[in-house]
A and B are shown apart, each in its own frame.
Chain A
Amino acid sequence: MAEPIALEAHELPDVIVLRVKGEVDLSTAPTLRNALRSALASRRHVVMSIRELQYMDMAAFHALEAGRNAVTGTQRVVLVASPPHLKRIIQIIQFDKVLPIFESEAEALAFVRDGNTP
């Protein structure tokens, strides 16, 4: 069976940008959670981009929340979200109270590096 999730890690000296594509549901959520945990194990900040994600449900948000609990020290984790139907889910479940949300990777990078208010 083809894995319906694809993760691409773009490693910068101080930040790992994780771009997730495909579908995150109960079956693929562990892959997302583990990717976020491994990225955090590098002690760098993490920018998680769901701009090209086709589908996500509560299982995906639980995975992000569980992954984020691996944060240590001054590490920051933020989310880049632009598809309108995903942003609406984020708004409904108030996920912006769990992770800061940005429209673009550039804004997200500026925030994790400088601590600018979103």
Chain B
Amino acid sequence: MSWILSLHAQTDLEAIRAARAMIGSVVRRVGGTVDEAGDIETALGEVLTNAAVHAYPDAIGPVSIAMIFEGGTFVVTVQDRGTTRSTPTVPHHLPDGGKGLFLVSRLVDHVAVHQNAAEGYRGVSVTMIRRLNRG
């Protein structure tokens, strides 16, 4: 089984809540446990919150969310078109401040952050990979 589902959303906090609830429900639907759904929902929630706070500090902006499910693994990519000032890095150890990405890195198997400085916008994309341990 392999499929793709993508969403175009805005960093409105109610839309963020709906998007993360949706992914939690998708994880459950393909056989993920409550805990796996909770982990992926929280990871997506953190990344979307970062986009709302850092990419669009003074406004609401567009964000796209793409989910790929293949061979029992979720790959979730969040892309904004905002103006985050510097590329966020994933800490290896618990930092004193800005714990969000560290939390994300522990809730999923792999997380990668890229920033697109081309063409005048500096959108950040965050890709998270999490395998479901079913059966």
Q: Measuring CB to CB, which residues of chain A are less than 8 angstroms from any residue of chain B? A: 1, 4, 23, 25-27, 55-59, 61, 83-86, 88-89, 92-94
- Tell me whether A57 and B49 are in contact (CB under 8 A): yes
Question: A27: which of B14, B94, B106 is its contact (CB, 8 Å)?
Answer: B14
**A/B interface sample: 10 pairs, CB < 8 A:** A25-B17, A25-B49, A26-B53, A55-B20, A57-B100, A58-B99, A85-B35, A88-B39, A92-B107, A93-B103
* Cross-chain contact A85 with B42 (CB below 8 angstroms): yes
Question: Are the C-beta atoms of A58 and B49 separated by less than 8 Å?
Answer: yes
Binding site of A, secondary structure by majority: helix, strand, loop or mixed? mixed
Contacts of B53 in A (CB 8 A): 26
A55: contacting residue among B45, B102, B107, CB under 8 A: B45
Contacts A23-B17, A84-B35, A92-B103 given; does A59 touch B49 at CB 8 Å: yes
- Whether A58 contacts B35 in the complex (CB less than 8 A), given A1-B14, A4-B17, A92-B107, comes out as no
CA distance A57 to B20 in the complex (A): 12
Q: How many positions in chain B have a CB within 8 Å of any CB in the partner chain? A: 23
Does residue B111 face the partner (Cβ distance < 8 Å to A)? no
- Check if B123 is an interface residue, CB within 8 A of chain A: no
Q: How far is the CB of A45 from chain B (nearest CB, A)?
A: 27
- Chain A's closest residue to B38 (CB) is A85
Say how far B88's CB is from chain A's closest CB, in angstroms: 13
CA distance A1 to B14 in the complex (A): 9
Nearest Cβ in chain A — how far from B86, in angstroms?
Answer: 19
Q: How far is the CA of A25 from the CA of B53 in the complex (A)?
A: 12
Check B42–A57 contact: CB distance below 8 A.
Answer: yes
B52 at interface, CB cutoff 8 A:
yes
Other contacts beyond A55-B45, A88-B35, A92-B102: 19, CB < 8 A: A25-B16, A25-B17, A26-B13, A26-B53, A27-B14, A56-B42, A57-B42, A57-B100, A57-B103, A58-B49, A58-B100, A85-B34, A85-B39, A88-B39, A92-B103, A93-B94, A93-B99, A93-B102, A93-B103
